[in-house]
Structure 1
Amino acid sequence: MMAQELLRCEHVSKSYWDGNHDLQVLQDVNLSLNDGELLAIVGSSGSGKSTLLHCMGGLDQPSSGTILFRGQDIAKWSPRALADWRNQQLGFIYQFHHLLPEFTALENVAMPLLIQGQSAQQARVRATELLERVGLAQRGTHRPAELSGGERQRVAIARALANKPALILADEPTGNLDDESAQQVLQLMRELNAEMQTCFVIVTHDQQLAASLPRQVVLQQGELQPQQVVS
């Protein structure tokens, strides 16, 4: 069965006005993703990786070009439709976990489900299942400050998967971890990608990490390089 296209960037450019002139961050980026893919976007600091990820997730708008999700132009959606799409179809993972410090691991994972309108019981059951899957079944009552860096990132991964999204966008998800924890988190994402057939896009400056994934694209000074390296 042929893979279905999930998301496409068509001629996406992005610039910011810095007070004196336009700062070009992305230049004519063309990229397509299929259901269930595992992709690394690799580039040095300042190459535009995070900006591209934010455009793909509807958190920022391109200055020109189009982002299509299952063939639909997300720029044409209302703010409410865009927010619902992010809640239901996307999951986000950041270098710094962005967990809510006053809530437990279980409550953090359940939060997207409660926002979606699920009952507290339904959200608790799903969150418990996900914490078990990421190896933190015994840590659900702990708050982020009581968890290690690797554990916090695994909670963030569980939270990103709460609503069974089609696409996970991960911005330097191992950048704040020691080597052992980074390898564990990367392996977990690879396993979840295979098990759940959720598409993962991992932005990283780590070429070794990128080389371990099935597909890479390279972003240099806002331009996507034509070569794609397959491991």
Structure 2
Amino acid sequence: MTTTSSGPLLECRQLGRVYADGQHQLAVLKDVNFSIAAGELMAIVGSSGSGKSTLLHILGGLDKPTSGEVLFRNEVISRWSSNKLADWRNRELGFIYQFHHLLPEFTALENVAMPLWIAGKQRTMALEQAEHWLAKVGLANRQHHRPSELSGGERQRVAIARALVNKPAMVLADEPTGNLDTTTANQVFDLMLQLNAELDTAFVIVTHDQTLAAKLPRTLHLQHGQLVTATVDAD
């Protein structure tokens, strides 16, 4: 997939998601419309149950909308085969979660190299790239430690390195600082801002923390599954 000069990187059109609960239907997302430009930095905020995580899963092709569509570089991703979706997630997307989801039996270096191995990269080259990214997130001296030997902030830094090792077009982060203390959360958040500026990778960050979201140039607000306001920094 190559970047095109026209149109957004990703776009949601009249996105809806309904879950069946017995005889009842629960509308989690309702008519959500927005787009994300290449290299853009954006927060999605809302209270628990507002539909933030569901929206992020649909953006990443991990769930399908009940109505509407998601386009990536003008292609409707719901029309892709499961193999094409998996390949797209590996090459074009990075994921960061509240819980790091690192593999406990592997070192930090091996965890970061994993997406490259999945993509079929040669082992030595993958480890070299993983080493580079661990150094970039300030963990050059922790690469041979397993997750149980790392602090919470260090584990999230490893997760960030893993998300970026394939140089994706976009990173989707679901409450990436929600499991950290305030000081560490700010450090991790600032690291993501720094990497966004350096790499021109788009970041979509779901958070309930209004203080952290205020650091971003654009914020979408979800309430009961609907986009109620969108704020953009005048700068």
Considering the TM-score relative to the shorter chain, is it more than 0.5?
yes
SS, match of residue 5 in structure 1: coil
**Cα distance change on mapping 1:147 and 1:116 into 2, 3 Å:** same
| The one of 59, 63, 77 aligned to 2:66 | 63
Q: TM-score, normalized by length of structure 2?
A: 0.96
Match of 1:54 among 49, 52, 57: 57
**Partner SS for 2:231:** coil
- Taking the TM superposition and a 5 Å limit, the aligned residue runs for 1:59-208 are 59-208=62-211
Matched, 1:219 2:211: no
1:230 aligns with 2:217: no
What are the superposed Cα offsets for residues 140-173 of structure 1, whole Å, 9 maximum, x if unpaired? 0000000000000000000000110000000000
Overall identity of the aligned pairs, in %: 64
Counterpart AA for 1:221 = H
RMSD: 1.1
Counterpart residue type for residue 102 of structure 2:
L
Contact 1:61 1:75 in 2 (8 A): yes
- Match of 1:62, SS state, is coil
What runs of 5+ residues in structure 1 fail to find an aligned partner? Answer: none
3-state SS of 1:65 partner: strand
Structure 2 unpaired stretches of 5+: none
* Comparing 219-228 and 8-17, the one that deviates more: 219-228
Q: Does 1:24 align with 2:27?
A: yes
When residues 227 and 114 of structure 1 are mapped into structure 2, their CA distance, relative to the original with a 3 A threshold, is closer
Q: Distance in 1 between matches of 2:23 and 2:172?
A: 32
Cα distance between partner residues in 2 of 1:122 and 1:202: 30
Runs of 4+ in 1 over 6 A off after TM superposition: none
Match of 1:15 in 2: 18
Q: Following the alignment from structure 1 to structure 2, what is the Cα–Cα distance between the partners of residues 225 and 3? A: 27
TM-score when scaled to structure 1? 0.98
Deviation at 1:230, TM superposition (A): 2.1
SS at match of 1:102: coil
For residues 195 and 33 of structure 1, what CA distance do their matches in structure 2 show? Answer: 18
Does the 8 Å contact 2:7/2:74 carry over to 1?
Answer: no
Answer yes or no: is the 8 Å Cα contact 1:3–1:34 preserved in 2.
no
Q: Distance in 2 between matches of 1:53 and 1:31?
A: 13
